[in-house]
Amino acid sequence: MRLAPLFLRLGLPPRFSVTRKLGQGGTSVVFEVQDKKLDRQLALKVLRSKWVSTLDAQERFRREAIITASLDHPGIISVIDHGTLTDGRPWMVMARVQGQPFRALLGDPEGHTRCLRILARVADAVAAAHAAGIVHRDLKPDNVMVGVHGEVLVMDWGSAVRAGQDQVAGGSTGTLPYMAPEGEFGAGPPASGGDVYALGVILHEVLYGRRPSMDEAEEPTSLPPSLQGSLEALCWRAMEEDPQCRPTTQAFAQAIEDWLDGSTKRAQAASLLSAAHEKLRQAEVLELRCQALRQEADGATVQGDARTPQDHAPAWSLQDHADALADDAATLRAEALASAQGALTLDPDGPARSWLLRYHREALLRAEAVGDRRAQRHHEATLKQYDHDGTQVSWLGAPAVVELRTTPTGATVQVFRVTGDRLPSLAHVTSVGPTPTSLRLPSGRYVLAFSKPGFHEVRYPAVLGRGQRWPRPAPGELHPRPLRMLPEGSLRPSQRYVAAGWTPIGGDPDALDSLGSSEVWVDGFVMQRDPVTHAEYLTFLNDIAPDEAMRHAPRDPLRARSVDAQHTLMVVDGRWSLPEDVHPDSPVVLISLYDAWAYCRWLAAREGVPWRLPTGLEWERAARGVDRRRWPWGDHFHPTWTNMVLSRDPPGPVPVGDCLDDVSPWGVRGLGGNARDWCATVWRPDFEGVRCPGPEEPSEDNLYEVRGGSWNSRAGYCRAAARWADRPGARYRNIGFRVMDTSRR
């Protein structure tokens, strides 16, 4: 049967030509029609014949047409015309919607955002109806169409009435379980709260993938973290039993829009944070490559036989490459921080805050590890800036737990805090004891002075980290060792006790050939307060066989061609003596490593104490203590605090007691200037391990470490982490030595 002539005979305006049937529901049939006037396709909705005798059905249909036509909103389908056919069936012509019901889109776990956008537009359309005094009363996903072009249309307004005016005939209207409790039995006039309840049920379907269940035994579905919070709360508020506790439709729509706006920002923030993570990873890779290149360059510089600038070219090329990598790494770190900060701005409650807190925590710990106090202050301030719940302030202020144990027990401990900006000073904090005992102290630098009658006082420098337990056990041990106190009389006034413990080494980028930053366990030792002097070395020369003395006497290879003319000391009446221009208390120089080793053997045999040269790591512990200081006296420099090239005019060596400020935390003097020291350590580009190795005897096959500043050094060469390397037979006017022993540790 041709539809167009049939409907024309039934009184449908000739403007609309019916072309085909689109579908039918419980009360109506929908046809496709051609609008001849405007040449467009529309939809014709007609009441089914079996309902034509039902006045209520006819009234509902006509009310739908009138109400729908009265609502001007892009989310509500527009009604073009309506009327009644000659057989008594009402009809309406509407815009044609090509798409699918909202129901078909629900249940897709990856489609939460799309469904929420649709639901927000549904709520906005219903809010417009509510503003016009219209209540839909049958909201459900089946009554929402999603067009192929993304349009969202609320359909089927047949149950709609004016709020508070029209009573519902024949009981309840709507679809379970989208019907609010107050509307289930037709109690009271229709109100907008029922539509809000239905929106809440639809939101529940979007979030949880199912309608809400009345079965309390049913396990609740857990939501992804991104959907928890405001959306979950909105869902349950919309389904409150009391209509007065539900939000308005406009508030419901706005809440979803706010979440969607936040979702977009969260997605942008996630992208920025991912970029930050990748840039930081790239920076760390470049930093490792840079470190390896610097070590390779250092090795090429020291081990190569370079006499001309051209000979240094390979090492310089490596250094230039390392510098370029360091610049690139710094740029990447800056870009990573900028990306993370951008992510935090977009999503203040997202993971960017944790990323930034973790970054600055790690940076703070690195700065503390290398003693960079300016960087420490920066990262502490930044942590406080990003701290929204007080956890960082609590972490920064967490005290250290200090356990004080000694051998023997019963010592009193005076606690001093290291203060002062230039030359550090000590401020008394408290006194505790007798040992064993414990106390809590804020993080910082301290000196702990242990005293007990019949024993030498021990001053132990300590850096206490926040929340740290101090001291730490030695490698492979479960419990910290008690501090050993030396009986009175076992130390001379010219000797200093350097107690055992962990030593931060290296990590000074401005020190020549500094080791990489690490921590090493160094056993305790006793070191002479000053380097070996000319007077002490004369005693050695005059006590050994003349031929040995001639071999070990200081001499300057640049002075003359004959060996005899090179000697800087004199032989008078068969005994070695000093020239008038050499002070007996100045450090002996022009000594080879072999000479220093011979002196130690002689002194050990004479005194019955196993005196020897310090290793490079023992020397660094004696010089820097435990706080990675740049110079033995602290982190600032002035020429008057040591003996270096700018300390006096003309530069030259001075007696060992002249520089009272060139004193390390352990009380060892002259480590920053006057004369450098030979060390019993073969030079290597870096150190790997957790225990300080023992001394290594001199051999012409190796280069050996030289440590410390000298009378002709500039400030950078006086830094306590600086290292030099030379052949064991070399002699220089600025290199001497000092001695130590480990028998009393």
Compute the distance between CA of residue 461 and CA of residue 464 in angstroms, rounded to an integer. Answer: 10
Handedness of CA 104, 61, 97, 21 (dihedral sign): positive
For 668-681, give the DSSP string. -BSSSSSSEEEEEE
Active site residue: 56, 72, 108, 138, which one?
138
Cα–Cα dist 587/710, whole Å: 10
Residues 6+ apart with CB under 8 A from 672: 623, 631, 632, 633, 641, 642, 644, 659, 662, 708, 709, 718, 720
Name beta bridge partners: 161: 135
Residues near 220 by beta carbon (within 8 Å), at least 6 away in sequence: 208
Catalytic (active site) residue 138: yes
- CA-CA distances (angstroms) from residue 571 to 101, 110, 495, 564, 576? 113, 95, 30, 11, 4
My answer on whether omega of the bond before 650 falls inside 30° of 0, hence cis, is: yes
Supply φ then ψ for residue 612, to 5 degrees.
-155, 175
CA distances from 252 to 122, 236, 256, 264, 502 (A): 10, 11, 7, 19, 62
| Six-digit token string for 368 | 């503390």
**Cis-peptide into 434, omega within 30 deg:** yes
> How far apart, in whole angstroms, are the C-alpha atoms of residue 490 and residue 495?
10
How far apart are alpha carbons 392 and 394 in whole angstroms? 5
Alpha helices in 608-692, H assignment, sequence order: 616-624
The catalytic site residues sit at 138
